[in-house]
């Protein structure tokens, strides 16, 4: 049976996301800032971050798949949904749920950099730095977490648990 243990509670998430939003406001006082959310995991973080910001934001999403239905990375990145707009000449903040190996973000940053944005930064709710395989620079980090598999607040395991209000560690029996 799967077990869930709360790691970061809803109010802690809320407080930290407001801090990140204030930081982004300071860094981009004018706007608009293109916030590009990576589907599906980033949808809740992006919604909260964008609403906590005062700087005008434009919201876009890309779809990417780097994981199968399990808990380990396939190491293969695929763009399943591209941007609908040009980001040339705009300030862009890529919004990610969690950076683990860095493979996904490394790939995406290359893709976006080729499109000549004015600036390109990354905001991630969670950073799990222990398994980095690719160097990635993350500008705004919500929480650094240990190497455990987490779900909730947008993050899933095989499409389950995305609507949990807390970030929880998922424990599965080894069989």
CA distance 62 to 78: 11
Residue from 104, 121, 140, 152 in contact with ligand IMP (CB under 6 A): 104
- What is the pattern of x (binds ligand IMP, CB under 6 A) and - over residues 78-97? ------------------xx
* Shortest distance, position 17 Cβ to ligand IMP, whole Å: 17
Select which of 48, 97, 100, 127 is catalytic: 100
Residue 37 contact, options Mg ion, ligand IMP, none, Cβ 5-8 Å cut-off depending on partner type: none
Tell me if the bond preceding 32 is cis, omega within 30° of 0: yes
Please list every residue from 139 through 158 that binds ligand IMP, using CB under 6 A. 149-151, 155
CA distance 141 to 133: 18
CA distance 173 to 98: 23
- What is the pattern of x (binds Mg ion, CB under 5 A) and - over residues 48-87? ----------------------------------------
Residue from 33, 35, 41, 99 in contact with Mg ion (CB under 5 A): 41
Long-range contacts of 169-174 (CB under 8 A, 24+ apart): 169/4, 169/5, 169/7, 170/2, 170/3, 170/4, 171/2, 171/3, 171/4, 171/5, 172/2, 172/71, 173/1
C-alpha distances in Å from residue 73, one per residue of 102, 125, 168: 10, 19, 19
**86 vs 133, which CB is nearer to ligand IMP?**
133
Please list every residue from 114 through 133 that binds ligand IMP, using CB under 6 A. 128
Residue from 92, 98, 122, 123 in contact with ligand IMP (CB under 6 A): 98
Residue 100 in the binding site for ligand IMP (CB under 6 A)? yes
Please confirm, yes or no, whether 175 is among the known catalytic residues: no
Inter-residue contact 164 to 10 (CB < 8 Å): no
Residues that bind ligand IMP (CB under 6 A): 41, 66-67, 73, 96-105, 128, 149-151, 155
């Amino acid at each position: 049976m799967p077990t869930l243990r709360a790691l970061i509670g809803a109010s802690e998430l809320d407080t930290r996301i407001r801090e990140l939003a204030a930081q982004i406001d300071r860094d981009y006082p004018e706007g608009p800032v293109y916030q590009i959310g990576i589907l599906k995991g980033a949808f809740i973080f992006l919604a909260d971050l964008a609403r906590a910001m005062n700087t005008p934001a434009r919201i876009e999403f890309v779809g990417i798949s780097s994981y199968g239905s399990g808990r380990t990375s396939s190491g293969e990145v695929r763009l399943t949904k591209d941007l609908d707009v040009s980001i040339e000449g705009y300030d862009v903040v890529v919004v990610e749920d969690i950076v683990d190996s860095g493979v996904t973000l490394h790939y995406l940053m290359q893709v976006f950099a080729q499109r000549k944005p004015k600036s390109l930064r990354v905001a991630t709710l969670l950073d799990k730095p222990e398994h980095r395989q690719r160097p990635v620079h993350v500008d705004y980090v919500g929480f650094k977490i240990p190497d455990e598999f987490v779900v909730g607040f947008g993050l899933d395991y095989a499409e389950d648990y995305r609507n949990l209000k807390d970030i929880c560690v998922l424990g599965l029996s080894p069989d």
